[in-house]
Structure 1
Amino acid sequence: MKLTTAERIALATQLDAMKRQAIDELRGAATQVDDGAPSVVQEVHAHADDAEAERAQEVRSAEIEIDRHRLHDIEEAERRLACGRFGICIDCGEEIARLRLLAQPIAIRCTACQAALEAQRR
């Protein structure tokens, strides 16, 4: 499967937009983490408040990790697109369906290999 020039441009544009969104989300999360730092003046509060704050921090940390992984996946897709390896399944070496790539440009597996991986994880 050869991508047309228009498809390559569209995919590069889509990856760039996804990258900007991931970076913006990481910046926003970093700001939230900074804003969540304890203040110098401590108020009397219940342990439930501490637990809720800790849970919120754990959620923010998990979101940051997801965004970091997504950013890495996007950058890897950009590299594959630039060097001509884009659209090749990392498991079987077959081409990934054009529609799958257009819908999910960071896909690294064909539909069959992705389904097999997910079934194996269950």
Structure 2
Amino acid sequence: MTEGSQQGRDETRARYDVFHTDCLARDVVDHVTSRWGIWVLISLRHNDLRFYELRESIQGISEKMLAQTLRVLVEDGLVWREVEPTTPPRVTYGLSEFGRDIGEPLTELFDRITRRLSPGTR
């Protein structure tokens, strides 16, 4: 019996080894640290936002890239999406518990970086 439980732990460890290309956790890390993923998570850290509010909060992101990034983050369970059946539909996004958990250290990292930079540094 010990042998079977040991094998299960080894399989789980191998499944979540981010150095392997088929690792599920690696996919989530790639999505979170993508060019726009980190900014979506940081933008949603305090408030739920509608699509256009989110787009305005992240300078330089196109509607297409925001939609793609949100789709992936929703699929990963980091962001939730709520559609109100109005005309036009009102779509709101927010962080799931998992997204808040992941977003917290990203926000800390961002805050540390901005504290270290002097106002004139660019």
TM value normalised by structure 1: 0.27
Q: Which structure is higher in helix share?
A: 1
In our comparison, the structure showing a higher alpha carbon Rg is 1
Q: Which has the higher contact order (CA 8 A, sep 6+)?
A: 1
TM value normalised by structure 2: 0.27
